[in-house]
Amino acid sequence: MTTRRELVGGLSRICGDANVLWRPEDLLVYEFDGTIERSAPYAVVFPANTEEVAEVVRLCNALGVAITPRGAGTGLSGGSVPARRGVVIATARMRRILEIDPANRIAVVEPGLPNIQLSEAAAVHGLFYAPDPSSQKACTIGGNVAENAGGPHCLALGVTTNHVLGLEVVTAAGDITWLGGHVADTPGYDLRGAFIGSEGTLGIATKVVVRLLPLPASIVTLLAIFDTIEQASHTVSSIIAAGMIPAAMEMMDRTTLQAAEAGLQCGYPPDAGAVLLVELDGIADVVEPQATSARAACMENGAKEVRVARDAATRELLWKGRKGAIGSLGRIAPNYYILDGVVPRSKLVEVMARVGEVSERYGLPIANVFHAGDGNLHPCIAFDEREPGATKRVLEAGAEIMRACVDAGGSLSGEHGIGFEKQQFMPWLYSETDLDNMGRLRGVFGNSGGFNPCKLLPGGTGCGEMAHNDAAIRAAGPDAFV
């Protein structure tokens, strides 16, 4: 049986003593991500480069120790929670921009680079990186690749997989290889596409080649104010039906607006039933008439008022409120559980009614903030985990909402991934044959079960237990792996 001392010693030889954490107090912040599942690793290691990542993977494989990749830990599906403890490989030290090529509109970056820093660096060249999760200031490009992250401005431009051209990866077997490249089209099977969104079950990206886009010449941002979320939902379909694909269409309900305005003072109307944030960009000759049409659609569907951001500062304030809205929900309760389902736009009203019914039946407040344009819902269930039985009720309510999304012809995730949180729901969408074929892909990359275990696909010994193995650990001794 391998001891913790032997593992830590091996990790330290590869990455240095200062880049390995193993004391219990240091591991506390690595036992969870943005969801409510928790499990403490045996150690956390911070490699500096591709070669160190590969050596760490090979060491853990040789010792039979599970591996969990981790970016910034902002994920919202338990993807970076070490379900079988083991070692967390964190990419925080690998955060360089290796190249920005304005002529070819690409950049090469390391996985630990915060998302926003890429667009800030590209802006000097009149370019930007499109995927912009709400956690943009903290989340990393490597984590975005793992979850195929989206963001408010992905309605017209697509999510991460549409903007990543190539990846250098360390596979689950510890091999170093490239998937894709520096150009859009490469021959053969699209292993790059298979890797993006694989949630750390196939390997770890160590370099990422991304596509950059020109900054838009003109931007118009509208804030439409409604009495009801139903009116705002109908407006979404009306705008799309009019032939427009805005850069973004975001919706917030009254509960979210009140929390965001109290915490961030963004100028939101706290008494509104819902607001729709609509942004259009492109050349001015196209954007201006589109903005007029979008405003008309809002008014026709019952908007009380449609405001236009008068300058860049006002626009930034509106987006500050949207991107900081979820964090503001701490004013309602000490904990929240955010869901991530997708429904057809035509089903928004129906599914939002189901969300309201679940909220009432379980006696749990649910705040709604979501990417309305592509039907990507984010109901946030507010609760207090200190209340006996509260977490169980929240998970049951969440499962009902996810079932409602699937029943409406939707999906289990639009951008947060499946992770540990929703892997048991995958049979709602896929047959046993489908899931078996997905599982076979793991073996191709060398994952025999120990690389980010208990994530994405259902099943696996111990996957329902998370860290509830304290008695076994005590019996074997503090230095042993169980």
14 vs 354: CA distance, rounded Å: 52
**DSSP letter string, 194-209:** HHTTSTTSSEEEEEEE
- Model pTM score: 0.93
Whole-angstrom distance, CA of residue 277 vs CA of residue 298: 11
CATH tag for 218-327 (out of 3.40.50.300, 3.30.70.870, 3.40.50.2300, 3.30.70.2190): 3.30.70.2190
Query: What fold, for 333-426?
Result: Alpha-Beta Plaits (3.30.70)
Q: Spell out a b/e string for 175-212, using b for 16 or more CB atoms within 10 Å of the CB, else e.
A: eeeebbeeeeebeeeebbebbbbbbbbbbbbbbbbbbb
**H or E element that contains 441:** helix 432-444
CATH topology identical between 97-214 and 333-426 = no
Q: How many residues does the chain have?
A: 482
> Domain 4-92+443-476 adopts which CATH fold?
3.30.43
Averaged over successive runs of 10 residues, the pLDDT of the chain (482 residues) comes to 91 98 97 94 98 98 97 96 97 98 98 98 98 96 97 94 98 98 90 97 98 97 97 96 95 96 93 97 96 97 97 95 92 94 95 97 96 95 96 97 98 96 96 96 96 90 50 40 42
Q: How many CA atoms lie within 13 A of 51 on its CB side?
A: 2
Predicted pLDDT of residue 476: 38
Instruction: Round to whole Å and give the CA distance between 439 and 174.
Output: 19
What is the per-residue pLDDT for 478?
45
Fold type of domain 97-214: 3.30.465
What per-residue confidence (pLDDT) applies to 472? 34
Q: pLDDT at position 468, please? A: 37
Domains of the chain, residue spans: 4-92+443-476, 97-214, 218-327, 333-426
Please report the pLDDT score of residue 479 as a whole number. Answer: 52
